[in-house]
Amino acid sequence: MKGLCSFILSGMVFVCRDLLLSLTTFLSMKNPALHILLLLLCCSHLPAQSNFQTLQSVRKIDIPFEYLNDLIVVKVTFNQVFPLKFIFDTGAEHTILARKEVTDLFGIPYEREFKLLGSDMKTELTAYLVRNIHLRVGNMVLPDQSMLVLDDDYFRFQEITGVEVHGILGADVFRGLIVKINYDRKVITLMKKSSFKGPGKGYDTTGIEVFRNKPYLVAGVSIRRDSMAKVKLLLDTGATLSMMLYTDTDPSLVMPAHTLKGQIGMGLGGYLEGYLGRVHQLEFGGEYFNEVLTNFQEVNEGVDTTLLFGRNGIIGNKILSRFNVILDYTSEKMYLKPSRRFSKKFDYDKSGLIVIAAGTKLNSFVVLDVIAESPAADAGLQKGDILKRVNLRPSALFSLADLHRIFSRKEGKKVRIIIVREGKRLKKTLTLRHLI
């Protein structure tokens, strides 16, 4: 957490410095970590909330965001006092606070207990309902917000993303509004339907389906060159991937011949096992993408697949960010205009290292896993190794995003690493090459 203010101008509320220091200490002690790929909430009867009061006197509200490791991260002020960071997540039905220490130290009462279904769609997790929370998100004020508070930090956002995140803003915050996400300017614009005069020049229109305040798109997927399947995909700005397909939801979703097996990410409740490969072509809204990096996962046997609402997978930020996006939830339409990222290649790490961030500043890096028969495996890297230097520079000078860029450089590039393993410093050299 960066610096703390002694007061906040909204309402001129005086802040108890000891309380802020206590909160900061508690949050930094929790080993952080990660992003949500899939969130299924078994509590659709949470109180619905209209946020039109935030737009009574203005035509629209702009919310600036940071785009960090393929996540849309917005600044949130909790109860007019405490600065937090939340992910803006179209794939989540409800707003969630991942750090129960915050509500505990504010003495906020928990009204009800709910059970959440984890990313494996089987593990049951615990959350609590809190009401009457005052949230400020950019210029948007939510004076009476209900939200879920996780019993434990199941997300562990920071480990995998290297980004300090405390929760997610779900669809209950922007239900019924027009949502414009400008990835080029890094601004989210919210407006009432009555204020929306159309998308403007350069946008194409495509239909979506909205169920429980979450948007779904029908797309064409060609895993191999000789066939095209129609798939229903959740539009999920809380996912850092390009696309995920559930292979057992449709007989045509057969994995490509060449895939990598391992931990494809992390979601609510733990790491996700699956495969990474490339889809020959993806088509939606009149646009085509070739050789799309795609995560493949099976829906576990015994899972109630009706919770998926017939969906075959997810489209995440690595594709959505190739557009400036307008979501019209009421009319079930999406408007798309290519962004600066539109023609970017679907690159993947060329080292075979899966690294997580640790430490209070998220600048200590530990090897979580090593892909078999990769440059990292060839060089003898192992799970649990601590990176101390990368290309002669101390690892503490890097962010996790910096390391990802280094490990995704041109094929044939050498990366020199010094690691610590069981107290011993070892030198390793990786020669980058394409893995997928």
| pLDDT score recorded for residue 162 | 80
For residue 68, what pLDDT band results from cuts at 50, 70 and 90? confident
Which of 298, 313, 338 delimits the end of a domain? 338
Residue type present at position 190 = L
161, part of any domain: yes
Overall domain count for the chain: 3
Q: Amino acid identity, residue 160?
A: I
Q: Which of 137, 158, 181 is the last residue of a domain?
A: 181
Residues 322, 372 within the same domain: no
CA-to-CA distance for 73 and 344, rounded, in angstroms?
A: 22
* Same domain, yes or no: 73 and 130: yes
Are the C-beta atoms of 213 and 48 separated by less than 8 Å?
A: no
Confidence at 401, pLDDT banded by 50, 70, 90: confident
pTM of the predicted model, to two decimals? 0.82
In a domain, 346, yes or no: no
Which CATH number covers residue 264? 2.40.70.10
pLDDT band at 16 (very low <50, low <70, confident <90, very high): very low
* CA distance linking residue 206 with residue 97, whole number of Å: 33
- 115 assigned to some structural domain: yes
Residues 260, 360 within the same domain: no
pLDDT at 272: 62
What is the domain-level CATH number for residue 368?
A: 2.30.42.10
| Phi–psi pair at 198, nearest 5 degrees | 110, 165
Q: Is 311 in the same domain as 415?
A: no
Residue 153 lies in a domain: yes
pLDDT band at 269 (very low <50, low <70, confident <90, very high): very low
Give pLDDT tens digits for 199-223: 999 999 999 999 988 999 999 999 9
Domain end position, chosen among 279, 314, 338? 338
Residue 27 is predicted with a pLDDT of 42
CA-closest candidate to residue 155, choices 263, 72, 267, 43? 267
Residues 152 and 228 in one domain: no
Q: What is the pLDDT of residue 115?
A: 81
pLDDT for 134-190, tens place per residue?
Answer: 999 988 899 999 999 999 877 777 777 787 899 999 999 988 899 999 999 999 999
Whether residue 77 is found in the same domain as residue 164? yes
* Shared domain check, 149 and 249: no
Q: Same domain, yes or no, for 211 and 333? A: yes
- CB–CB of 32/156 below 8 Å? yes
Is the residue at 7 inside a domain? no
Whether residue 287 is contained in a domain is answered as: yes
- What gap in Å lies between CA 134 and CA 98, rounded to an integer? 17
Question: Domain for residue 46, yes or no?
Answer: no
Are 90 and 155 found together in one domain? Answer: yes
| Domain of 83, in residue numbers | 60-181
Residue 44 placed within a domain: no
Answer whether 163's CB lies under 8 Å from 156's CB. Answer: no
pLDDT at 26: 37
369-389: per-residue pLDDT in tens?
Answer: 898 899 999 999 999 999 999
Are residues 131 and 206 located together in one domain of the fold?
no
Query: Is residue 137 domain-shared with residue 259, that is, in the same domain?
Result: no
How far is 88 from 72, CA to CA, in rounded Å?
6
Tens-digit pLDDT profile for residues 103-113? 998 999 999 99
The answer to whether residues 139 and 251 belong to one domain is: no
**CA pair distance 279, 229, nearest whole angstrom:** 11
Residues near 283 by Cβ (< 8 Å), separated by ≥ 6?
A: 219, 220, 221, 222, 228, 289
